[in-house]
Amino acid sequence: MERTTATPAGVSRPGSHRARVRTNDGAVTVEAAFGILALTIVTGALAWCLALLPAQLAVGEAARAAARVAARGDDAAVVREEARRLVPDARVEVHLDVDHVVVDVTRTVSPPGVLARWGSVHLHAASVALVERAP
């Protein structure tokens, strides 16, 4: 009578176990790399958003300064020059009414690098001043 050894289901033979073992060492490295990349992009986007605050404040100050110049009765070209002194790439609109002047200052800012795909941001400020009358 011949003896046969059967291996139960789910049990491997000695020596063949090493060939079937898979490690996840490389997967962990890839996941960490993608996680660091994502954190870097999010941190860059947040830093750029925080950098918009001083730019918006500059646009508001340019509108106020230009409105003061317009209220004194200066020409529209002088008003635009005053606004562009503070924000060089601004678009300036001056609306003169009977007793007041409105100055709108707009600046378009594009994010750097990869973030530019999200589009540009339009910063806007308006300022109103009463027209000064000579006594």
- Domains of the chain, by residue range, sit at 27-130
Whole-number average pLDDT of the chain: 84
Using a pLDDT cut of 90, give the percent of the chain over it.
Answer: 49
Asked if pLDDT for residue 12 goes beyond 90, the answer is no
Residue 130 has phi, psi (to 5 degrees) of -75, 140
Using alpha carbons, list the distances in angstroms from residue 42 to 38, 113, 123, 124, 134: 6, 13, 22, 25, 55
Integer Cα distance of 83 and 89 in angstroms: 10
Encode pLDDT of 32-90 as tens digits. 889 999 999 889 888 888 989 999 999 999 999 999 999 998 888 999 999 999 999 99
Per-residue pLDDT, 110: 86
Taking alpha carbons only, the member of 74, 83, 88 closest to residue 127 is: 83
Of 8 and 68, the one with more pLDDT: 68
